[in-house]
Amino acid sequence: MPFFSWGFWLLCVAASASARSDGGNKPKSCSELRQLYGAKGFSPSGVPQAEISGEHLRICPQGYTCCTSEMEENFANKSRTEFEGMLKEATRSVQINLTSQYKSFDGYFQDLLNKSEKALYDTFPGMYGDLYNQNVKVFKDLYSDLRRYYRGANINLEEALNEFWIHLLERLFKLMNPQYHLTDDYVECMVKHSEQHKPFGEVPRDLKLKATRAFIAVRSFVQGLGVGNDVVKKVSQVPLSQYCTRAIMKLVYCSHCRGMSNVKSCNSYCRNVLKGCLANQADLDPEWRNLIDSLLLVAERFDGPSNVETVIGTIHTKIAEAISNMQENRESITAKVFQGCGNPKLNTKPSNVEDKRKRVKSISEDKQSVLGLEKLVADVKGKLKDVRDFWVSLPVTLCNDKISGSVNEDKCWNGMTRGRYLPDVMGDGLANQINNPEVEVDITKPDMTIRQQIMQLKIMTNRLRNAYKGNDVDFQDTSDDISGSGSGDSCLDDICGKKQSKSSSTRQPETHPMPKLSGQGVSGNSSILLPSFFILLISLAAVATQYLRR
């Protein structure tokens, strides 16, 4: 064996001995690596632990190496699997967080509504007799509408509440005046004058104001948690690029091939690789933060004198108060209706309805667990703040916790050897990877799955901000709102401005005037070229004339 080869082998053995002194469970020698990572049929001539020429390597540095081509391929597959596992574990923790909060709030709000409905069914029969028994459907329809609205159905909540009070007024007025024959036209007249008479007092107006704000807040909040969870799930399924797989392999396992199994990667080197691999994911950050901030704002609406717990949990008491108001002012209300709509005709047939009005105490308001809501809100605020910077902190977190850890930056694996990593660490996001020294990233081709999720976050954030202001929102058209994102509508301006999307023809013409301008330019150029063409013809004719004269 030449002296150089023996010398290199001695260095390899020395490095392996040094690695053993550092401890750890990773393989220390070339032979151990070959046994563990698939160098089947390898029988090097000379010393069993000898390194070989690395000309066959496609990913790792092509110096003398312990790795065969098969080992390098196995390392690449292993690093890809391990990195995908790290990503799934990291995103799974966020999903578990959001899912837990979703279930807690969803269960809490539904429980409030269920308890209110049950309290109404339990107490109203004894309080109002036929006034309730003959109008059960009116109350059931109200709670059904409230529940469907909360679940995202396309229902106008104010109209649903208005309809409830109108139907209740019609039924109660007829039951309170069974001796009269009330036609549909007469009832319609009575309803028109109800705003002036206010048969239920101020309860309908007060409940409509508070209930709409409360239900808008709770359903948008729970929906926002669900959307956040869906975004994380879909983004976690985005596959790694070929260039990323190679860079991860070089980061994690090429040191093994150089006899440095126990040398961890430089932290700054690791961050450059992961910032390149997760560049598209980092572009979620602005809209992800907006979503989290908007959820925190809406959560603030749950507290205060008109908090959602008091409003949703005491709907039945408000209805009872309204009915009591109408009972107590029956004569006055009837007189006002007769004055405005005329005296109705008496029934020719005796009424079978017996007025069983009862003078009972108004139903007491159930005291809900305020501490329970306060604890839920405090908990969700802390959990949401924990994941606020998840996407931009992901490369640093993975490097610190899984790949590099705490290393000596002067004696770490820098992609070529043991030593300091010199290149600067890149910024976050796709646009900042143009000069990434470790991962080849095409900044003109953003991942469309992630761009669609960015658009989804924008839509949900807008709805949350509307909900914070008390404005109603509709969740039925979510798919329509993002239907155009696949055609490139969700690209960032600084990225999509650098290229012409192949699918841009699917957009509205007025948003892309450039093709029209370019077409006009072509037409304009042809008019400029036309005189030149005639000049050329005239010149040729002159030459031909001179030639014929000869």
Q: What is the pLDDT of residue 462?
A: 96
* Residue 202 · residue 354 · CB < 8 Å: no
The C-alpha atoms of residue 516 and residue 73 are separated, in whole angstroms, by 51
Backbone angles phi, psi at 344, to 5 degrees: -75, 165
For 340-382, the DSSP string reads HH-PPEEPSSPP---------PPPPPP---HHHHHHHHHHHHH
- Angle among Cα 287, 154, 452 to the nearest 5 degrees reads 25
Angstrom CA distances, 447 to 41, 304, 453, 486, 522, stand at: 42, 43, 10, 10, 34
Q: How buried is residue 543: exposed, middle or buried, by Cβ count under 10 Å (0-12/13-18/19+)? A: exposed
Closest C-alpha among 462, 453, 455 to residue 298 = 462
Angstrom CA distances, 404 to 271, 281, 282, stand at: 9, 21, 20
Of all helices (H) and strands (E), which one includes residue 452? helix 448-468
The C-alpha atoms of residue 308 and residue 213 are separated, in whole angstroms, by 8
Please provide the size of the chain in residues. Answer: 550
Local confidence pLDDT in tens for the 550 residues of the chain: 444 344 434 334 344 433 333 333 445 567 666 656 654 434 443 334 556 666 777 788 777 777 878 888 888 889 899 999 999 999 999 999 999 999 999 999 999 999 999 999 999 999 888 888 888 999 999 999 999 999 989 899 999 999 999 999 998 888 888 888 888 888 889 888 888 888 999 999 999 999 999 999 999 999 999 999 999 999 999 998 989 999 999 999 888 888 888 889 999 999 999 999 999 999 999 999 999 999 999 998 887 655 888 899 999 999 999 999 998 988 888 888 888 888 888 877 655 544 444 444 445 445 555 558 889 999 999 999 999 999 999 999 999 988 887 788 888 999 999 999 999 999 999 999 999 999 999 999 999 999 999 999 999 999 999 999 888 765 444 333 333 333 333 333 333 333 333 333 333 322 222 223 233 333 334 333 334 444 444 444 443 444 444 4
Q: What is the pLDDT of residue 229?
A: 97
